Amino acid sequence: MKLLRQKVISEGIVLGQGVLKVDSFLNHQMDPFLMREVGREFTRRFAGEEVTKVLTIESSGIAPGIMTALELEVPLIFARKQKSLTLTEDIFVEKVYSFTKKESNEITVSKKFIAPGERVLIVDDFLANGEAAFGLARIVEQAGGTVVGIGIVIEKAFQPGNRLLKEAGYRVESLVRIASLDDGIIAFVEEDAELSD
C-alpha cells in the first residue's frame, strides 16, 4: 500500500530497540481516510473467504478493524485487555505479551460473540513476535471458529511473528513490511517497495 508506506516514511519515528512510533496516524491520533483505505485493502486481499466476523485487540487494532468490518459488512469484536465489571463470566481468556509495552496482558472476549463455525478475520496494527495474533487465534479456535487470515497494518519483518504464524498454518497479509529500523532509518522489505511503486 503506497499511501500507507508514504505515511510511515513521513510521520513514523524510530525510537530505537525495534520500536516505531506511528501515533500521528494509527494508534493515538487516527487518519480516518487512511484507515478506510486499509479496510478496503484487507477486504480486497481476503475476498472470497466468507468472513463472518472481524476480531482485533484494543485499542490500536480497533480503527483498522472497524473499517475492515465496515467494508466486509460484518461485525467487529475487540478483545479487551482490561477486566470489565460487565464481562465477568462466559468469556474466553488468553495471555499475550506486548513487545512494545514489555508486559503481559490477559485478553478477554465474551463467548456470546463468537459461535462455532464462524469464519474470523483477525486484524491488528502491528506484527512483531506474533503474540497478540496467536492469542486472538486461540480464542477463535476455542470457540470452534476458523481463522481465515490475519491482516496486519505494519509488520516488523525483522522479528519472527510472520514466520511463526505461517509455520502454524495461518495466512498472514501485511500491508507494509519493515526490514529494519537500524540507525533510526526505516527500511522496507524490498519486494514490497517494488510492488507498491
**pLDDT of 82 higher than 90:** no
For 14-43, what is each residue's pLDDT tens digit? Answer: 997 789 999 999 989 999 999 999 999 999
Q: Which residue has the higher pLDDT, 146 or 103?
A: 146
For 41-50, what is each residue's pLDDT tens digit? Answer: 999 999 999 9
| DSSP-based helix, strand, coil % in the chain, nearest 5 | 35, 35, 30
> CA 77, CA 66: separation in Å to the nearest integer?
9
Amino acid at 154: I
Which pLDDT score is estimated for 190?
81
CB 140 within 8 A of CB 56: no
- Grid look-up 466476523 returns 53
> CA 26, CA 95: separation in Å to the nearest integer?
24
CB 65 within 8 A of CB 78: yes
> CA 152, CA 172: separation in Å to the nearest integer?
7
pTM of the model: 0.92
**pLDDT of 100 higher than 80:** no
For 144-173, what is each residue's pLDDT tens digit? Answer: 999 999 999 999 999 999 999 999 999 999
